[in-house]
Structure 1
């Protein structure tokens, strides 16, 4: 279905019945990325998948202000309001995890559990945020100047996704085709509006999060495992699980294991 939020149409898919469970994908992703975990969670929850602005089937407006992190956070709340969902659990991957954490901090009464996969609360130091902002702007210009196909080829070969080269050929092809379904305007503006350099840092607000939090990281993704370990010391009610032989995208690399771990956590 398409949900109108202030003139922008968001592509939303709702599957099943039960306790609402919201899924927020990563940069260059879409709701299609979650298809692999459906067999392990379907039938127990009402699964709500949202294509974030600039991605998948959602609109990709030219106005960068529509992509600003806090605006998208409030757009998600509007979507939940229209679906008449007042209490839900959240699963956020990478960029979607940063957005999920922002939702928890700003709207704590709307959510009961949080799963963060390969994510962070942002960048703590201002000088490092400025450097990241410059890097994201450079990447946005690369997308605009060289086109989507060249960018996707580059993106799939960065060190963050090295472990994905080990997954089955059909999964790699699926991810490649899915990324190419995005567009230049949506991805470049997402970097400018939702990049880690421009989002607020939530490190100092982690102690405010009282709901149960599951932090997932792949053992091959050392950077995000270090971030998860630090987050676990600051969150009030958190547990961390490192997934053996997995990298940044655990749900794609080990969907069955991901589904089982998340199911156990949510059922407590």
Structure 2
């Protein structure tokens, strides 16, 4: 069952309820949607909440920043009567999850960050990335979704996805094709890595349990995770052999098992009513 939660200019889509207690919020990456998690949610025996983030899926394209998006998601959860929840985020969604953990430590009970980053440390790096994000946003607007999808699926970060079965590759491609030029461009401008403030000097403030997940073939984010683990107090890190950037796509059963095990460890082996 899918239903709509209206928060300002956003429409969040809640998919299915399984189990009881504090839900798990799944936050997708750039070019994704809540449906990204359709193979993962059944593996997690608790309530799942999978929003289409701003500019993606069926959520309106608004040029919002990470902090505003984090506030919108928290308000949506509060309106549903949930004031404490776990958050799983992938890539862009991982950066958003990290923002939520820092902004609302009393609400976020744990964080699972897949191929995520606290941002760029220096203003010079952020300015360079902002220019690159703006250039890509303009190309998306001018050249269209089909051009962008052809470009995006061939960047080095997604090279390992070419090894996947055709059915999975086609599913990922369709999800990207279902986005809009305006939505992706606004997301890059508002929630891109260049637009994000650096959280490197704050991740030591995280007090909830944190799990970092990276693929062994994603060298960039493996190196980032290694540095993050040194700074986050209550932190585990799992590196998945043979996986690239999107572990939940490339090895979804293993990813689901890892997340479930992490949540079970937090709750002492029982996910019912937590």
| Deviation of 1:36 (Å) | 1.6
Output aligned runs, 1:95-174, within 5 Å. 95-174=92-171
Distance in structure 2 (CA, Å) of the matches to 1:146 and 1:253: 29
Distance in structure 2 (CA, Å) of the matches to 1:254 and 1:14: 23
| Deviation of 1:23 (Å) | 0.2
Answer yes or no: is the 8 Å Cα contact 2:54–2:60 preserved in 1: yes
| Deviation of 1:177 (Å) | 0.6
| Deviation of 1:200 (Å) | 1.1
Q: Give the gaps of 5 or more residues in structure 1.
A: none
Structure 2 counterpart SS, 1:45 = coil
- Give 2:88's aligned residue: 91
- Give 2:216's aligned residue: 219
Distance in structure 1 (CA, Å) of the matches to 2:240 and 2:32: 21
Structure-2 change in CA distance of 1:137 and 1:7 (3 Å): closer
Answer yes or no: is the 8 Å Cα contact 1:137–1:191 preserved in 2: yes
- 1:172-207: per-residue Cα shift (whole Å, max 9, x none)? 000001111110110000000000001111111111
Structure 2 counterpart SS, 1:203 = coil
TM-score (normalizing by structure 1)? 0.95
Distance in structure 2 (CA, Å) of the matches to 1:7 and 1:179: 22
Would you tell me which structure has more helix in proportion to its own residues? 1
Answer yes or no: is the 8 Å Cα contact 2:9–2:60 preserved in 1: no
Distance in structure 1 (CA, Å) of the matches to 2:66 and 2:23: 23
Distance in structure 1 (CA, Å) of the matches to 2:139 and 2:245: 23
Structure 1 counterpart SS, 2:39 = helix
| Deviation of 1:263 (Å) | 0.9
Answer yes or no: is the 8 Å Cα contact 1:14–1:49 preserved in 2: no
Answer yes or no: is the 8 Å Cα contact 1:10–1:59 preserved in 2: no
Q: How well do the aligned residues superpose, as a CA RMSD in angstroms?
A: 1.0
TM-score (normalizing by structure 2)? 0.93
Q: Give the gaps of 5 or more residues in structure 2.
A: 266-274
Answer yes or no: is the 8 Å Cα contact 1:12–1:51 preserved in 2: no
Structure 2 counterpart SS, 1:151 = helix
- Give 1:12's aligned residue: 14
Distance in structure 2 (CA, Å) of the matches to 1:68 and 1:111: 19
| Deviation of 1:9 (Å) | 2.2
